[in-house]
A = this chain, B = another copy of it.
């Protein structure tokens, strides 16, 4: 019943590459049944051919990626990472007529639109499910299942390291620095954790999600980005007291009038009964609001060799099926071409925690600062007296710019001794 074998070339023999090779070889009978043709792994390009690679037959190993690509395999899988030489190799593969599967979030966030266009011009498939939220089938639903709907907002927990740290801070009341050290010991955080805790990894994924959700060119540089390094155990405790939990969110949304998109990464307080609140430890989840479909969430493991390899293999099967049927899958375009607007135009809510003087008129002065900037207050809670007097304010929706100006004005008030914490609030009903 099966057609001639389809050839697969693999670029990269690291953790993910080894798992992809293993699954291709171990599950060959199942894969053949699902594709309608056998899949044949023809080569694995690596940097260091001397290094032992468990699960990869040594005669398939090569250090000449360009030569491997020039053989014109049906499918080229790129799991080497980094912008170059990955981009050149992918473009070379598509020009040679190969469909391309990549897990390369840095490259897609830097220059996804160029890859989309090259795939269109060569009439090949370009799939990249593994680039965001690892094993969670997310990009295919966004590209295909919601293709008849209008996505309004995407809210994602897309970085496992920061979610692990914030979960521990919430569960154990621990300090950021202590939990980071623990995460590094457990291997959940790198020795240099900047890309994770600074929000840069999440920002790259936010760009990819925004590009697909809104059919608009969005790159890493378009994403407003703030990490979790300034989140204190006091913030976590204040969130808990209000029935919230702090998460690092990647947010991609239409502007209030629908004419543009805003993409941002920052810590945010999320109500404890929101589906994202129960996403703990190193799990990922992406919450999507669409016009007709309403709210939905995709949850699962965001990283790890085997989960990422599962996502890559799903894409390989899809591209292979298209080869067998003689067609190609849906391409991606940035036809909507909406402008990317700054975070100051986003409608958000703020939580503000103030250390205030304990004297009459303080609340009035503070309320005036909010009102003067057109921000309306949802809840005020006053804690303590005398030197310990504290005031916690949660606002209604207002432009992020107006909220940011309000906080500046609060800092300048005599009545305010210190602004202890400021954080955006997401996921409240009616938000």
* Alpha-carbon separation in the docked complex, A336 to B27 (Å): 13
Contact of A278 among B27, B278, B309 (CB under 8 A): B278
Contact of A330 among B147, B298, B318 (CB under 8 A): B318
**A291-319 interface bits toward B, Cβ cutoff 8 Å, 1 = contact, 0 = none:** 11111111111001011011111111110
B314 touches A135 (CB 8 A): no
Residue ID in chain B nearest A327 by CB atoms: B327
Residues of chain B within 8 A of A148, CB atoms compared:
23, 27, 31, 310, 312-317
Known: A33-B336, A327-B327. A299 touches B275 (CB 8 A): yes
Known: A33-B335, A144-B140. A149 touches B330 (CB 8 A): no
A333 touches B141 (CB 8 A): no
**A193-218 interface bits toward B, Cβ cutoff 8 Å, 1 = contact, 0 = none:** 00000000000000000000001000
* Alpha-carbon separation in the docked complex, A148 to B75 (Å): 14
A30 interface contact, C-beta 8 A: yes
Cβ contacts A to B, 27 pairs, < 8 Å: A23-B292, A27-B150, A34-B147, A34-B330, A135-B293, A140-B144, A141-B141, A144-B314, A146-B314, A147-B317, A148-B316, A148-B317, A149-B310, A149-B314, A292-B306, A292-B307, A292-B313, A293-B311, A294-B300, A296-B299, A297-B297, A297-B299, A298-B298, A325-B327, A325-B330, A327-B327, A327-B328
Contact of A309 among B273, B292, B296, B325 (CB under 8 A): B292
Known: A148-B317, A318-B147. A136 touches B296 (CB 8 A): yes
Residues of chain B within 8 A of A290, CB atoms compared:
135, 310
How many residues belonging to A are interface residues under a CB distance threshold of 8 Å? 61
Those 3 A-B pairs whose CB atoms lie nearest each other, nearest first: A327-B327, A148-B313, A296-B300
Known: A294-B301, A301-B295. A318 touches B33 (CB 8 A): no
A215 touches B19 (CB 8 A): no
A259 interface contact, C-beta 8 A: no
Copies assembled: 2
- CB of A139 to closest CB in B, whole Å: 9
A129 interface contact, C-beta 8 A: yes
- Chain A positions within 8 Å of B, measured between CB atoms, are 19, 23, 27, 30-31, 33-34, 129, 135-137, 140-141, 144-150, 215, 273, 275, 278-279, 290-301, 304, 306-307, 309-318, 321-322, 325-330, 333, 335-336
- CB of A83 to closest CB in B, whole Å: 26
- CB of A161 to closest CB in B, whole Å: 17
- CB of A136 to closest CB in B, whole Å: 5
A137 touches B129 (CB 8 A): no
* Alpha-carbon separation in the docked complex, A327 to B326 (Å): 6
Beyond A145-B315, A147-B318, 20 extra complex contacts between A and B, CB < 8 Å: A19-B292, A23-B292, A33-B333, A33-B336, A34-B215, A135-B292, A135-B296, A136-B296, A148-B315, A148-B316, A148-B317, A149-B314, A290-B310, A292-B307, A294-B307, A295-B301, A297-B297, A298-B299, A321-B330, A325-B330
A314 touches B145 (CB 8 A): yes
- CB of A212 to closest CB in B, whole Å: 12
A328 touches B330 (CB 8 A): no
* Alpha-carbon separation in the docked complex, A398 to B327 (Å): 48
